[in-house]
Structure 1
């Protein structure tokens, strides 16, 4: 296995981790929405969910960039 193939597989794993994070954030936000909390508490928790969502999206994008670089250089 060459270095570029390894980069592709590692990038795919990182992307998968980001997608799992996005799905987990969506599920937790849906549960939060149906919880019936007061508006202030709901807003505070949803802002935290937005931060987790952006972090998971960043991880997925980094993984996709690793895959693209591995394909382009391989």
Structure 2
């Protein structure tokens, strides 16, 4: 395939990783917003528990992107 054959996988993986990082930043901003909202402890806890699922999804997406970059580099 040559050195240029896996460039698409590297760029796709980088784009997926960036999407995951954007998701992580969004989770951080939402958590700060929830804390500033002055919610009751139970409501705050429920909101933060919802954000945990999004946080894990964003981390997984970022991890998959990084794996794609590594595979692309290894196959190039």
Task: With the length of structure 2 as denominator, give the TM-score of the two structures.
Answer: 0.93
Give the unaligned 5+ runs of structure 2. Answer: none
The residue number in structure 1 matching 2:49 is 47
Runs of 4 or more consecutive aligned structure 1 residues displaced over 2 Å after TM superposition? none
Shift of 1:20: 0.3
Give the unaligned 5+ runs of structure 1. Answer: none
Shift of 1:9: 0.3
- 1:18 is the counterpart of 2:23: no
Structure 2 distance, partners of 1:62, 1:8, is 12
State the SS of the aligned residue for 1:12.
helix
